[in-house]
Amino acid sequence: MSDTSPVIEKIELHPVAMQLVESLQTSGWNDSFRPAIMVEIHAGGQVGWGECVAGWTPGYCYETIGTALHVLSDFIVPALLGKSLEALNRTRVTPQYRGHPLTKSAIDMALCDLNARLSGQSLSQLMGQSLAAEGATHRRERVVVGVSIGIHPTIDETVAIIDKRVKEGYGRVKLKIKPGWDVELLREVRRQFPHILLMADANSAYTMDNLATLKKFDEFRLLMVEQPLGNDDIYEHSLLQKHLETPICLDESIHTVDDARLAIDIGACRIINLKVSRVGGIRPAIAMHNFCYNTGVPLWIGGMLETGIGRAANLIVAGLPGITLPSDISATNRYYDPDLTDEVFTLDAADSTITVPTGVGLGVTLNRDRLAVAEDAFARFPKTKFMAPSH
């Protein structure tokens, strides 16, 4: 059958920088003024949007806003222009180029948005239909979410912020931890909030030398401890998990279904944090979801401080039936004010949920005026600041 599907006519890259409503300090870096690349793909008279969440520095992974711009403009965009959507839908984004999942995720997201828009349907509904065809449980219309709380100067300040978030209606709290900012903090938070769903994210700040400390986490009834050891490690996590009652959740070290299979087979984790960007986009995320769903591994959706575009994608994937734990997707007012999208995501305080967008495509509308302001902020920001060694 001949391929008569629309071809990619134009791809525009919009690097942006935006102030976060609240900065987020992790064990390794601080986010307060975030970059992103909004990707705009034109085909068949429609436009699809995607978002690249690579940061200023290679803190979370090796990708940065600079590598993403380079790989997109010098390799991926030229490889896609003029290609038919049908051909692109048959493969992953530019499989001939290795790595760079955060960068490829932006393209995959824009293609998913574009495909759904060309069919006049919402991506969420399209995913629901394909689930039904496979006999899986129907997608959720609202997803349970939690809040991620960074490292603050004192335990009292942290407790005050948790108190505020719990009163706003967030039913699960994740604390960023690091050596020296862990046992005492967790003990006090657990004492003051005996019933909240509590978890900790170390972003690879520990080694097996910290085993005695990590074992103490068991007394705090944590939902999980996320990525305690090396960012690219799976094996040592399997050694650590044998010593802990608390389930280990892997984030940074799981990029592919093969990584997930290995981690589960050797007992390196009992839970996986599924990030759309880290695995290379919405379609790879669905593949990871299907593997974990079929093997009974609990999942939740992790966040990368996305704008409304990336957050819509996260919410849509979070509606899949295998996402059984609260996801790191907070309401719009926790991130950017204003956001790049017209739609605002709000928390339903009654059950700590956010509604999955069901408008056409990703279900959100990019605001071109705000995009122009954020692009200008990126253009004026002195990037060389991030090339100097930090202290």
Residues that bind Mg ion (CB under 5 A): 201, 226, 251
Q: How far is the CB of 103 from Mg ion (least distance, A)?
A: 19
CA angle, 203 as apex, 109 and 194 as ends, to 5°?
A: 105
Q: How far is the CB of 274 from Mg ion (least distance, A)?
A: 11
If the CB atoms of residues 28 and 359 are measured against Mg ion, the closer one turns out to be 28
Q: Nearest approach, Cβ of 249 to Mg ion (angstroms)?
A: 8
Across 112-134, b (16+ Cβ under 10 Å) vs e yields bbbbbbbeebbbbbbbbeebeee
Q: Judging by beta carbons within 10 Å of its beta carbon (0-12, 13-18, 19+), is residue 253 exposed, middle or buried?
A: buried
The residue from 167, 176, 383, 385 that is catalytic is: 176
User: Which neighbouring-strand residues pair with 38?
Assistant: 14, 51
Is residue 275 annotated as a catalytic residue, yes or no?
A: yes
> Is 164 labeled as catalytic in the residue annotation?
no
Residue closest to Mg ion when measured from CB atoms:
251
Q: How far is the CB of 108 from Mg ion (least distance, A)?
A: 21
Closest CB to Mg ion among residues 115, 273? 273
The active-site residue out of 10, 275, 383, 385 is: 275
What is the pairing mode between strands 225-226 and 353-355?
Answer: unpaired
Which residue's CB is nearer to Mg ion, number 63 or number 201?
Answer: 201
Query: How big is the chain, counted in residues?
Result: 391
The Cα–Cα gap between 382 and 359 comes to: 37
Extract the tokens encoding 172: 């699960």
With respect to Mg ion, which residue has the nearer C-beta, 116 or 248?
248
Query: Which is it for the CA torsion 124, 323, 28, 63, positive or negative?
Result: negative
**Which residues are part of the catalytic machinery?**
176, 275
